[in-house]
Amino acid sequence: MDIEVDNLTQVWGGANGVCALDRFTHSFASNRFACILGPSGCGKSTLIQIIGGIESATSGEVRITDPADKERRRQPLGGCSLMMWQNLNLFPWRNVIDNVAFGLEMEGLSRAVRYARAKELLASVGLPKFENHYVHQLSGGMRQRVALARALIMQRPVLLMDEPFAALDAQTKIVMQEELARIFEQTRKTILFVTHAIDEAILLGDEVIVMTARPGRIKEVIPVNLPRPRSQELVNSPEFGRLYEHALRLIREEVLNAMRQQEAVDD
């Protein structure tokens, strides 16, 4: 799916409220992995929620279309995408397989079909033996895998991910990043991935969209032409280092701007 974001503006709390996004304009191309990087409070979650159809924008628009559709009919927001949050929202009263199969259950598919699909996905995220466990019996990393399997089971062409790995320990994070890169290479979804981590953005993305401090605009789009398949070893390559330095410089400026804004509010 192609996602065209056109002059998207979001003001929270009425006319004198907080401007979270200011005329954000970008084309997210089909089958590409876009990472969105920006200081805290710059509107990243706001952007993802509007694209996912969870919130409506003050002005501007989002058009999602299938490039294979000659008539370019617009897809309803939320209809072709799935959202994965930092807070996983797994159901504690359901075991792992029923958490993963939840979306298919809502679609009325039979137990046999949804369990077969859920088992496949649990195997692909490395949890084949945990079907009957409950969420409280799993580590944070395992919960993250269950949440990823639950998102992937819906086979939506667009995946919207809002800091999904932020709460993970460093080693589990590396494994999950590689897992996601592998899944992306196999399934070629359109992925929008919000993160604060510069290395994560470069490792995963085909492009890194650096946003300004609030109100969020695009400061720069950094193309990432590192070869796929990608793995953690890439971080030692000169090209990775060059991209990292560049993104760091941009982000540093914006984080300082965000801090200045905060100081002005505090005065």
Q: For binding to ligand ATP (CB under 6 A), which residues are involved?
A: 12-13, 18, 20, 38, 40-46, 214
- Any contact of residue 45 with Mg ion (CB under 5 A)? yes
What is the closest distance, in whole angstroms, from the C-beta atom of residue 12 to ligand ATP in the complex?
A: 3
From the list Mg ion, ligand ATP, none, partner contacted by residue 103 (C-beta under 5 to 8 A by kind)? none
User: In 113-133, which positions are buried (b, 16+ CB within 10 angstroms) versus exposed (e)?
Assistant: ebbebbbebbebbebeebbeb
What is the closest distance, in whole angstroms, from the C-beta atom of residue 115 to ligand ATP in the complex?
A: 35
Which range touches Mg ion (CB under 5 A), out of 43-51, 103-111, 180-188, 211-219?
43-51
From the list ligand ATP, Mg ion, none, partner contacted by residue 18 (C-beta under 5 to 8 A by kind)? ligand ATP
What is the closest distance, in whole angstroms, from the C-beta atom of residue 244 to ligand ATP in the complex?
A: 19
From the list Mg ion, ligand ATP, none, partner contacted by residue 13 (C-beta under 5 to 8 A by kind)? ligand ATP
DSSP, collapsed to helix, strand or coil, labels residue 92 as: coil
Which range touches Mg ion (CB under 5 A), out of 45-53, 131-139, 153-161, 245-253?
45-53
How far is Cα 134 from Cα 144, in angstroms, rounded to an integer?
13
Q: Which is nearer to ligand ATP, 8 or 191 (CB)?
A: 8
- Residue 110 burial class via C-beta count within 10 angstroms: exposed 0-12, middle 13-18, buried 19 and up: exposed
Q: Which is nearer to ligand ATP, 103 or 216 (CB)?
A: 216
What is the closest distance, in whole angstroms, from the C-beta atom of residue 55 to Mg ion in the complex?
A: 13
Give CA angle at 22 (63, 28), nearest 5°.
35
- Please enumerate in sequence order all residues whose Cβ is within 8 A of that of 181, keeping only pairs 6 or more positions apart, or say none: 203, 204, 228, 229, 230, 231
Q: Are 149 and 117 in contact (CB under 8 A)?
A: no
Distance from the first to the final alpha carbon of the chain: 46
Single-letter code of the amino acid located at 50: I
Which range touches Mg ion (CB under 5 A), out of 25-33, 38-46, 123-131, 246-254?
38-46
User: How many chain residues touch Mg ion (CB under 5 A)?
Assistant: 1
Q: Which is nearer to ligand ATP, 12 or 91 (CB)?
A: 12
C-alpha to C-alpha distances, 52 to 46, 106, 212, nearest whole angstrom: 10, 19, 22
What is the closest distance, in whole angstroms, from the C-beta atom of residue 211 to ligand ATP in the complex?
A: 7
What is the closest distance, in whole angstroms, from the C-beta atom of residue 134 to ligand ATP in the complex?
A: 29
**Dihedral sign from CA coordinates of 87, 93, 95, 99:** negative
Give residues in contact with Mg ion (CB under 5 A).
45
